[in-house]
Amino acid sequence: ATATDGKVELKAENLSGKEEMSLDGDYCLMAIGRKPYTANLGLENIGVETNEKGQIAVDENLETNIKGVYAIGDVIRGAMLAHKASEEGVFVAERIVGQKPHINYSLIPNIVYTQPEVAGVGLTEEELKKANKSIKTGSFPYKANARAKISMDTDGFIKVIADKQTDEILGVHMIGPRIADSYTEAVVAMEFRAAAEDIARMSHGHPTFSETFKEACLAATEDRALHI
C-alpha cells in the first residue's frame, strides 16, 4: 500500500510475486489475524504440549498435559477476548482451591468495537437451523428508537432468536450505537434462560438504547413491537 496526497494505492501480489490487482481508495484498513504468543517461553523445558496452531493444549479444566500447570486466554483454544480470559482466570483459581466452576462459552459475547458497534451472544440462526432447532426471530431497528433519533445515531438493529415452543432466548445479535454496553442485558437473560416474553414484559426506561432489545423481544413474541 502506498499513500499519496488524498488517496492510497494498493497492489496485491500472489505467492510467486506476480501482481494480481491494483486498487485506489481513500483509506487502506489493515485487518490481520492474531496468533498465540507461545514461542520462546520455554514450554518445551517442562514438556508442555502445543497444537499445530501454537496454542497450548488444555483439558476441560484448562490444565495442560503437565499436572498443576494451567493455561488461559489467548494462548489456548477459543476466541481471543479479554473478558473470556478473565473468566478463565477465575475458573482456574477456583479449581485450584477445590471448587467446581463452570464456563458457558456460548454466552461469552463477541464484540467488535467499530462504528457502529457489533456484538453477538448465543447461537446464530444458521447454527440453530443446522441443529434442526425450531426457532422464531424478531428484530427492531435503531431508526425507530427515540434515543437513537435524539443522538442522530440510527444505524443498525437488534435481532433476537428464540425457541419456537418454549420462547427461550437462544441468541441475540446486534449492530448499532452503544452495543458494547447494552448487550449485557441479553447475557443476563440467557444465563437465567429467560423467554423473549419475559424481557418484553419488563419496563425499560424511555428514551434509552436498551428499549431496542425489549422491542426486538416483542417482535419475536407474535410480532408485537410497539414503536414501528
Tell me the catalytic residues. 206
- Distance between CA atoms of residues 166 and 146, nearest Å: 31
Beta bridge partners of 141: 157
Q: Is 79 left (phi over 0), alpha (psi -120 to 50) or beta?
A: beta
Number of Cβ within 10 Å of residue 38's Cβ equals 18
Where does 20-159 have alpha helices with state H?
43-46, 82-96, 125-130, 146-151
Note the residue count of the chain. Answer: 228
Q: Decide: helix, strand or coil at residue 26.
A: coil
